[in-house]
Amino acid sequence: MQPISILIVDDVENTREDIKRFLYFEEDMEVVGEAASGEEAVELAMSIKPDVILMDINLPGLDGIGASEIISVQVPEVAIIIISIQGEKEYIKKAMAAGARDYLVKPFTSTDLAETVRRVNDFSRKRHLHLVGEDEKPAVHLGKPPGKIITLFSTKGGLGKTTLACNLAIGMATQSGQSVVLVDLDLQGGDVAVILNLTVNQTIADLAQEDWEGDITVIDTFLAAHFSGINVLCAPNSPEQAELVTPGHVTKLINYLKTKFDFVILDTAPAYSEINLNVLEMSDNLVVLVAQDLPTLRHVRSTMEVLAALNFTDKINLVLNQLRPDGISVKEMEKNLGRSMTTVIPADDKTVLQSVNKGQPFVLNQKNSRVAGCLMELAGKLAAAEKTKQKVGKTTKINPIKKMFSFNR
């Protein structure tokens, strides 16, 4: 197999030499050219057509953004990685708009560089194969049953749902030893990346703009690896990008992920959107968050009524988060809701706040805390739940409750 050909573009010679040293021991990579300006980069890109260009953003004359725009149009098969000392979102947006596939912030390690080059090249290769009509066949996972879909849902915010989702995903991976992917479907305000301390340039919004028809495995290139062992697909970087993601995108995404992973954990937005209704229907288990106050109790009762009308009652797992002695008692809540709590998680503000602020999930860094113990208990219950549920009386009729929500555009 031919090595990945790389063009380095930077006006500082020492920087180019450093990058070459980083890549020297990567047997699957080869530096085929260097450029010190945007104009030179465009000329070399058109003549040697490398697989990947490492493009500094600050160049004399034509800068890296301008050069990337020209190359993306003139040599679209070339994958561009922007390199800069600026890591602000505005710079990243400009780079992506110019056609860059990824963004590295200086200083970076040789591992960061090599992994980024491989990921970007792999994505670019798959995309090119599709465009020329030579798509690779998706991998077939023989003998693997479809993964279980677990969705965290609440129509009220502020209940710690995302923190719970992140720790639950990691807890299930570490406890069961099975593969887990976490998807942030809170498209206008998802915080999974923040809580897991992930720096992610490619989100579900970027994925939605790709053509999946020829090769759905391009999804793999948008999954971020967390050090705990789980994979993550993050929410858009800005609220307006949420509109790029359609219910069709999400349905196809989940159907693919469950062929690859044992568990697909979905963190949703607090709303009865079309995306959420589809997700609720596809899910094997629903984790509904509860808190010890009357407004939340009212929301949960309403949610359970809607889920019952959708015939999803058997999927529900009520989880009382942040149990406090001065709130409504567990017995009173269970009586009011007509259902027992699957798990009760105690309040531990110090542990949780420290975990969130440091980007270090408490199921890893504070394993001995009560909150971590209860979270692992929930993970164990969900992992051990019945793997296949018989669908009785399945029909193609539209469920009456869905008529309550209009999504016609």
User: Distance between CA 173 and CA 116 in Å, rounded?
Assistant: 25
Place 318 in a pLDDT band, splitting at 50, 70 and 90. Answer: very high
352 exposure class (CB count in 10 Å sphere: 0-12, 13-18, 19+): buried
Query: What pLDDT is attached to residue 355?
Result: 86
Check whether residue 106 and residue 167 sit in a common domain: no
Check whether residue 277 and residue 201 sit in a common domain: yes
Query: What pLDDT is attached to residue 393?
Result: 39
Check whether residue 331 and residue 250 sit in a common domain: yes
Q: At what angle do helices 38-48 and 64-74 cross, to 10 degrees?
A: 20
Give me the number of domains the chain comprises.
2
Looking at residue 144, what DSSP letter applies? Answer: P
391 within domain boundaries: no
**Given 98, 131, 164, which residue is the final one in a domain?**
131
Check whether residue 165 and residue 115 sit in a common domain: no
Cβ–Cβ under 8 Å, residues 262 and 150: no
Check whether residue 286 and residue 175 sit in a common domain: yes
Q: Is a pLDDT exceeding 60 seen at residue 177?
A: yes
Assign residue 393 a region (left: φ > 0; alpha: ψ between -120 and 50; beta: otherwise): left
Place 398 in a pLDDT band, splitting at 50, 70 and 90. Answer: very low
Check whether residue 15 and residue 153 sit in a common domain: no
**Each residue of 266-298: pLDDT tens digit?**
999 988 888 888 899 999 999 999 998 899 899
Which one has a higher pLDDT value, 299 or 128? Answer: 299
Check whether residue 191 and residue 297 sit in a common domain: yes
Check whether residue 216 and residue 360 sit in a common domain: yes
152 within domain boundaries: yes
Cβ–Cβ under 8 Å, residues 274 and 245: no
137 within domain boundaries: no
User: What is the domain range of residue 183?
Assistant: 148-386+396-404
Query: What pLDDT is attached to residue 128?
Result: 60
Asked which of 15-29, 50-64, 209-223 is least confident by mean pLDDT, the reply is 209-223
Check whether residue 241 and residue 376 sit in a common domain: yes
What CATH number did the domain enclosing 122 receive? 3.40.50.2300
Q: Give the closest residue to 225 by CA, choosing from 249, 199, 206.
A: 199
409 within domain boundaries: no
Check whether residue 154 and residue 217 sit in a common domain: yes
**Which tokens sit at 175?**
């406890």
What CATH number did the domain enclosing 337 receive? 3.40.50.300
Check whether residue 124 and residue 160 sit in a common domain: no
104 within domain boundaries: yes
Check whether residue 34 and residue 182 sit in a common domain: no
